[in-house]
Structure 1
């Protein structure tokens, strides 16, 4: 690889969950990325090494940041082995390092991803052994270098994984309730709600507190990557720029706002869940910014001050026989929203669309998302009275404003 220079852009791919692609593209754009393509569960973009580091630190809805470096057509295993062997792997892996390959194969002659990964690994190891007599070792659990192979219709793209541990694992969650939102989805819901990081935010069914913790990270301008466990994989790359990384990390640490920027209020009927939420919020060092209490959703009400937003992820009732219970719960939620939160916008994230009809309010937005394998919707309800307000969308606070001289995103 060439030495890292801020003036040397390269292509990258950020992966995410279904439905969060546009949110992630906006996050990357605000960091200064050139957005090349918004695909399904991925955003292709270009930027320099500084952007690569910043994307890992700041992107709230990215799972991984990949750096493609080679591509070729491989209709059979012989071609895959040969073309892999033509890459100069000494540019990407040192003989004393450990590496792992993740393969994703779709609509190709070679159908089995594990076989493709094994064949690619053999080609890499054989090249090192033939050239130097030494070879890097394979470690699927804790590799220094992570490689991704994407094969679709026999077209192969090889990428370096810059992230290492999945970016959704912030490191603050001590333990969780039965069906928690992951951190990326929680952050994505807040960004899809166009929350500006300053309006009051209430979660009256907060569970283990993931939505509130992510809200605090947004409002206090805290980079989620500062919680990343262990090294980022790019720190093991041959062209890793320690001085640049130190600078990017220092900038992120100094961007944090110490004074509370928004009222963040959470409650749950379960004392055990509130204890869990307190543990998680405390593990993230955010206990000064989130107010938690034990309260039945039927008793939830807006705190004093200007109206804000309500965000909640109520149970879906996946067990047989829970239909009546869920209908009653969602009716209670609707009654609470109507009586307790005048002037607010409410967002309910649910995988039970039948029960959601019992809310008794007309949704003004219905955004398709998934919670794991569960087909869900983020439903927006406007609770104000009187004439329809003109809606204004403000970007949530981020680490950097758009780099000067760049055009507005054409969205």
Structure 2
């Protein structure tokens, strides 16, 4: 890849390996895993492709400088030393977001203010005019990251978090983040190899992300805009070419995705979002209570769902609720790999089944577990006895 430079993709805890694999599959060079980040090398076209196609990335940052700093004066001088005219002119607007993990710098707001002063002063001295701050719709979003005494300045190529896919206009109570949904699905081994079911679908996010993975549809195809579209080097022809090539890699999906929820309002919202994502051909949505219905699909089934948790569980009897999940899986879903995410670790004890996998994840600030239950046809014991006879 000619004209390659280093970039950083931010992600959730526990998704770093998934993101690294996605990057390698897309063609990134020198992929390196960090804590909630993955760094890699690529050119301008690859930056566009990463924003368009990555499912488990929250942001793609382009570092433009790093330096060891000991105090606020060092920070000011470092920011001022950057040639900002490469990235914006004096009539543009900008916003600064700082992340600070340091004993020297305690407040991200202070770091943002110092950075703003340095940029403004630089333009005033060189041009006699200054760019303005606009936190809502900036022409350039600048990211400052300080880890102890190492300061990295990056340009945010994404803008709003990449979980804003663009298809979700209707949400239910506590909807699952789209990047979290995609990461859960990839962790579960979902690639579109069977029928799929989400029996507690809420506003339909897991079902939509499952269909996009199965069909290899670029994750952010429906997104309205990316921050790089306002950059001075924005190349619309190149972006359209990359979008066209990515769409040629979309594949057929020969199974069905079933989504259901017992709440009529959730079903309405899910249908609306599925229409927005142009995925109505792949996803069937209906009003249904998971605890009262049994499997109506043929062949193996891959199930992933996000049961109510936290505040939503306060109206529920935890022991009874999780017990019902276990009963429904045992009685209605033989031959199914069932995965669900929960932040109620106590509740897992009442499922009455032993999970074959447990993966630590975070849903917002809540620590949770993604658990897998393998539901065998007949009893597990019978299955192994049969294997031995063979």
Quickly name the TM-score band, shorter chain normalised. over 0.9
Paired position in structure 2 for 1:298:
291
Query: Where does residue 262 of structure 2 map in the other structure?
Result: 269
Structure 2 matches for 1:122-133, cutoff 5 A? Answer: 122-133=117-128
Q: Given that residues 167 and 223 in structure 2 are in contact (C-alpha distance below 8 angstroms), is that contact kept between their aligned partners in structure 1?
A: no
1:204 and 2:196 correspond = no
Aligned to 1:219: 214
Matched, 1:243 2:237: yes
Q: 2:281 aligns with which of 279, 284, 288?
A: 288
Measured in 1, the distance between the counterparts of 2:173 and 2:22 equals: 30
1:137 pairs with 132, 150, 156, which one? Answer: 132
Assess, with a 3 A threshold, how the Cα gap between structure 1 residues 121 and 389 changes in structure 2: closer, same or farther.
Answer: farther
In structure 2, the gaps of 5 or more residues are 378-382
Q: Does 1:256 align with 2:250?
A: yes
Q: Residues of 1 paired with 2:59 and 2:343: CA distance?
A: 26
- Residues 25 and 35 of structure 1 are in contact (CA less than 8 Å); yes or no, is this contact kept in structure 2? no
Give the equivalent residue in structure 2 for 1:402.
none
Query: SS where residue 227 of structure 1 aligns?
Result: coil
In 1, the alpha carbon distance for the partners of 2:155 and 2:9 equals: 12
* Alignment correspondent of 1:406: none
* CA deviation string 1:7-52 (max 9, x = no partner): 1111111001111111111111110112442122111111222211
Q: In the TM superposition, what is the alpha-carbon distance from 1:254 to its structure 2 partner?
A: 3.4
Q: 1:219, CA displacement in angstroms?
A: 1.5
Q: Match of 2:221, SS?
A: helix
Q: For residues 321 and 62 of structure 1, do their structure 2 counterparts lie closer, same or farther at Cα, with a shift above 3 Å needed?
A: closer
Q: Aligned partners of 1:270 and 1:67: how far apart in 2?
A: 43
Encode CA deviations 1:340-362: one digit per residue, 9 max, x unaligned: 11111110111112112111111
Cα distance between partner residues in 1 of 2:209 and 2:248: 19
Is residue 41 from structure 1 mapped to residue 36 from structure 2 by the alignment? yes
Partner of 1:179: 174
- 64-73 vs 305-314, which deviates more? 305-314
Give the 5 Å matches for 1:12-411. 12-230=7-225, 232-257=226-251, 259-318=252-311, 322=315, 325-385=317-377, 386-387=383-384
Corresponding position of 1:398: none
8 Å CA contact 1:75–1:108 kept in 2: the answer is no
Q: 1:134 offset after TM fit, Å?
A: 2.2
Structure 1: runs of 5+ lacking an equivalent: 1-5, 391-411
Give 1:404's aligned residue.
Answer: none
Q: Structure 1 residues 342 and 284 mapped into 2: Cα distance closer, same or farther (>3 Å)?
A: same
3-state SS, counterpart of residue 164 of structure 2: coil
C-alpha separation in 2, matches of 1:53 and 1:126? 32
TM superposition shift of 1:198:
3.0
Q: After superposition, what is the alpha-carbon deviation per residue over 1:270-325, rounded to whole angstroms, capped at 9, x for unaligned?
A: 111111111111111111111111111123333433202111111125478656x1
- Give the structure, 1 or 2, with the largest relative contact order (CA under 8 Å, sep 6 or more): 1
Q: Distance in 2 between matches of 1:110 and 1:201?
A: 48
Structure 1's 343 and 144: CA in aligned 2 closer, same or farther, altered over 3 A? same
User: TM-score, normalising length from structure 2?
Assistant: 0.93
1:241: Cα distance to partner? 2.7
Q: From the superposition, tell whether residues 293 and 321 of structure 1 become closer, same or farther in structure 2 (CA, over 3 Å).
A: closer
* Residues 72/301 of structure 1: CA separation in 2 closer, same or farther (3 Å cut): same
Cα distance change on mapping 1:348 and 1:243 into 2, 3 Å: same
1:366 Cα offset (Å)? 0.4
Partner Cα distance (1:369, 1:317) in 2 = 15
The offset of 1:161, in angstroms, is 0.6
| Equivalenced residues, count | 382
Question: 2: CA distance between counterparts of 1:76 and 1:326?
Answer: 51
Q: Which secondary structure state, in structure 1, belongs to the residue aligned with residue 9 of structure 2?
A: strand
Give the direction of change, closer, same or farther, for the CA distance of 1:320–1:81 in structure 2 (3 Å limit): same
Q: Distance in 2 between matches of 1:18 and 1:147?
A: 23
Matched residue SS, 1:298: coil
**Distance between the aligned counterparts of 1:307 and 1:160, measured in 2?**
46
- CA drift of 1:117 comes to 0.8
Query: 1:204–1:300: 8 Å Cα contact kept in structure 2?
Result: no
Rounded to whole Å, the distance in 1 between the matches of 2:280 and 2:340 is: 25
CA RMSD across the alignment: 1.9
Give the drift of 1:154.
2.0
CA contact (8 A) 1:220 1:261 kept: no
